């Protein structure tokens, strides 16, 4: 059914847009989400089975958002008999201030403990440790594809709508609302939330956005070689030896996901080459630091990052347009919290996100 006018429209049906629409629906609205691609597409940043639920932050604005996100994850409950968060724990090690992170998490009532390298190696034989490691049992992975499906179900059940295969070609703000230009007409909204990832700059050229760098990232799944127990992990490696921080997590049925953070080539999201990069360096890392997997078994995965220069998110409002962007490869775990903030901004023109997330 064609929609001629809506109270709040959401442009972009990835995890951030769907989380925002779900939050709006929880508050009694009937949002309409417009997504250019088909359900289950792999062109953006929300596909795949798992994302790292990494809580190893010491900045207050991220910890505030993490707490709000966890409330949302808990509210989503069980899907197919299992929570959307698998809290099997997170290990962080390498060149990072573990003590600061431990203190900040503990202050929030989030479990954190520092282990010796010997104790860490005894718990997780599939990994190698040379220094102390921080462990939090309140972290793990988010079930990404299951989350997308559950958010859509909740939106529709609450009277909202998700319109797949419905590109918005332009957004025009007027004195009385916002017009979304579709391929077959227009939709008028009182307010629009734009969460289009790699296409943000193209969609909102005049909004005063910071530079948003779009890159194609290619982590990989590696085959476990024994029955080792696996946590999620962050490893702040020597930059003289490896190109960037390493992250990873177990993905049932696919192996152990391992990747360098934010090292991909710049790309145009409409002409993405799906080119594998840093494969040799990733295999070298796995060979040195992960005796529990086969370094020759990599199955690459392609996704995009849309990053600000300082990796801070953009959560703000200009006129009747609300934007969520620049999630810089570490946003998925925050999605329910981001959705709540963007819903605040959409419903209250005086609302403000935390200062680091605001537009200049």
Asked if residue 172 is part of any domain, the answer here is yes
Q: What local confidence, expressed as pLDDT, does residue 242 receive?
A: 97
Within 10 angstroms of residue 29's Cβ, the number of other Cβ atoms is 19
Q: How many structural domains compose the chain?
A: 1
Q: What is the CATH number of the domain that holds 5?
A: 3.50.50.60
Q: What local confidence, expressed as pLDDT, does residue 354 receive?
A: 98
Helix (H, G, I), strand (E, B) or coil at 338: helix
Q: What local confidence, expressed as pLDDT, does residue 311 receive?
A: 97
Asked if residue 145 is part of any domain, the answer here is yes
Q: What local confidence, expressed as pLDDT, does residue 3 receive?
A: 45
Q: What local confidence, expressed as pLDDT, does residue 4 receive?
A: 79
Asked if residue 182 is part of any domain, the answer here is yes
Asked if residue 167 is part of any domain, the answer here is yes
Query: Can you give the length of the chain in residues?
Result: 360
Asked if residue 324 is part of any domain, the answer here is yes
Asked if residue 221 is part of any domain, the answer here is no
Alpha-helical segments (H) within 124-250: 144-157, 200-203
Do the beta carbons of residue 277 and residue 265 sit within 8 Å?
yes
Q: What local confidence, expressed as pLDDT, does residue 1 receive?
A: 38
Q: What local confidence, expressed as pLDDT, does residue 55 receive?
A: 98
Gap between the Cα atoms of 274 and 271, Å rounded: 9
Asked if residue 179 is part of any domain, the answer here is yes
Domain extent for 170: 1-86+139-210+312-360
Asked if residue 204 is part of any domain, the answer here is yes
Contacts of 202 (CB under 8 A, 6+ apart): none
Which of the 8 DSSP states describes residue 207?
Answer: S
Gap between the Cα atoms of 200 and 180, Å rounded: 15
pTM, two decimals, is 0.96
- The mean pLDDT values, 10 residues at a time, for the chain of 360 residues are 78 98 98 97 90 97 98 97 97 98 98 98 97 98 97 98 97 95 94 98 97 97 95 97 97 96 96 95 98 98 96 98 98 98 98 97
Contacts of 40 (CB under 8 A, 6+ apart): 47, 145
- Residue in 100, 109, 56, 59 with CA at minimum distance from that of residue 245: 56
CB burial readout 83-106, b (16+ within 10 A) else e:
bbbbbbbbbbbbebebeebbebbe
């Amino acid at each position: 059914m064609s929609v001629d006018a809506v109270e709040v429209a959401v442009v972009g049906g990835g995890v951030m847009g769907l989380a925002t629409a779900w939050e709006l629906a929880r508050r009694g609205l009937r949002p309409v989400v417009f997504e250019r691609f088909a359900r289950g597409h792999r062109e953006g940043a929300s596909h795949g089975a798992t994302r790292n639920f990494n809580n190893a932050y010491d900045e207050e604005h991220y910890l505030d958002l993490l707490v709000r996100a966890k409330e949302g994850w808990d509210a989503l409950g069980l899907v197919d008999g299992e929570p959307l968060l698998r809290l099997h724990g997170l290990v962080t090690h390498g060149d990072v201030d573990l003590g600061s992170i431990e203190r900040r998490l503990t202050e929030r009532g989030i479990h954190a403990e520092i282990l010796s390298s010997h104790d860490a190696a005894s718990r997780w034989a599939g990994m190698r440790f040379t220094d102390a490691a921080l462990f939090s049992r309140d972290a793990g992975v988010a079930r990404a594809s299951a989350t997308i499906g559950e958010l859509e179900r909740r939106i529709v059940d609450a009277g909202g709508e998700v319109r797949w295969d419905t590109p918005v070609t332009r957004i025009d703000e007027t004195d009385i609302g916002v017009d979304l230009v579709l391929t077959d007409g227009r939709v008028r909204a009182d307010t629009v939330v734009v969460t289009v990832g790699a296409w943000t700059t193209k969609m909102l050229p005049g909004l005063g956005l910071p530079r948003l760098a779009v890159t194609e990232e290619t982590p990989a799944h590696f085959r476990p070689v024994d029955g080792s127990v696996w946590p999620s992990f962050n490893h702040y490696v020597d930059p003289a030896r490896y190109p960037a921080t390493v992250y990873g997590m177990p993905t049932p049925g696919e192996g152990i996901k391992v990747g360098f953070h934010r090292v991909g080539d710049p790309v145009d999201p409409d002409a993405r080459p799906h080119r594998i990069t840093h494969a040799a360096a990733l295999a070298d890392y796995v060979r040195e630091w992960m005796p529990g997997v086969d370094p020759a078994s990599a199955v690459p995965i392609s996704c995009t990052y849309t990053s600000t220069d300082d990796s801070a998110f953009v959560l703000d409002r200009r006129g009747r347009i609300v934007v969520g962007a620049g999630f810089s490869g570490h946003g998925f775990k925050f999605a329910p919290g981001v959705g709540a903030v963007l819903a605040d901004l959409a419903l209250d023109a005086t609302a403000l996100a935390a200062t680091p997330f605001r537009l200049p």
